[in-house]
Amino acid sequence: MNGNNRMVCMTLPADAEFIDVVRLTLYGLCSKVGFSYEEIEDMKVAVAEACNNAVVHAYEPGRTGTMDVKFELLETGIRISVKDEGASFNYAEKVEQAQSLHEQTLDEANIGGLGIYLMQALMDEVEVKSNGGTEVILTKWLSKSEELV
């Protein structure tokens, strides 16, 4: 990691009521980096979806767990990681479901694939690692449109 990168890390209970804390942190950091209001709103939806996956799918009912959220401030954007220690899921299968959503109405869509589809639509890069838990890495680059003016 080069010296210009800065990272903010949080460990939160994997509970829906803590997703707002992640969204508020994202807003504060992305404002500093220079993202537009619309870009930040898109990222809030994608990050909330990644957190929701950890809350809903990672841990057995009745078993409490955590989610580790890292915000890496890059020179030209932000990389957000949401990691849980729970049951992994088949990412390749979910991506396939997400890609097949293009031909479906919202009512027909499998909800499991919808989150991945949303994240892919709202972020520039989406990577998922499943190894002793699941880590979703979301990257958004600053748009270069302001340099064209």
Q: Is residue 31 part of a domain?
A: yes
Q: What is the pTM of this model?
A: 0.79
Structural domain span for residue 67: 6-148
In this structure, is residue 85 part of a structural domain? yes
Largest CA distance in the chain: 54
Please report, for the domain that includes residue 17, its CATH number: 3.30.565.10
User: For residue 34, how many other CB atoms are within 10 A of its CB?
Assistant: 12
For residue 139 the two structure tokens come to: 């990257």
Per residue in 70-94, pLDDT tens? 999 998 999 999 999 887 555 555 5
pLDDT in tens, 127-145: 998 888 889 999 999 986 5
* Number of domain units in the chain: 1
**Residue at 79 is within a domain:** yes
Instruction: Assess if residue 140 is contained within a domain.
Output: yes
Rounded CA separation 54/92 (Å)? 17
